[in-house]
Amino acid sequence: MNKPLNEYDTVKNILIKHNVLNKEIEDLDDPKLMEDLYNHFQEDMPYGTQKARDGDPDEFIYDALQDMNLPLGKVTRL
């Protein structure tokens, strides 16, 4: 029986699927990757950010990835 993944493992698997684990965070701009990450984080994202009215969904995702301490490169620019 498969053990359910925690959020860290789920997001890490998304990054592995798109071959971007250990890349610089500002290089995570592939549309399919961002769509998968958006779909994952959408429930936690405020509605206005989801719709890009009062926040940037990509910035929300980047912040969430940094908060998770995933093995990503350092932010050098955004």
Q: Does residue 61 belong to any structural domain of this protein?
A: yes
- How confident is the model at residue 25, as a pLDDT? 77
Q: Does residue 78 belong to any structural domain of this protein?
A: no
User: Into how many domains does the chain fold?
Assistant: 1
Q: Does residue 73 belong to any structural domain of this protein?
A: no
Domain with 52, as residue range(s), is: 7-67
Percent of all residues in the chain with a pLDDT value above 70, rounded to a whole number: 87
Structural tokens at position 47? 């509605």
- How confident is the model at residue 2, as a pLDDT? 55
Structural tokens at position 67? 């908060």
The pLDDT of residue 67 is above 70: yes
Q: Does residue 30 belong to any structural domain of this protein?
A: yes
- How confident is the model at residue 26, as a pLDDT? 76
Q: Does residue 76 belong to any structural domain of this protein?
A: no
Scan for tokens 């610089």, then name that residue. Answer: 24
Confidence of residue 29 (pLDDT cuts 50, 70, 90): confident
pTM of the shown model:
0.82
The pLDDT of residue 71 is above 90: no
Cα separation, 29 vs 78, whole angstroms: 11
- How confident is the model at residue 56, as a pLDDT? 95
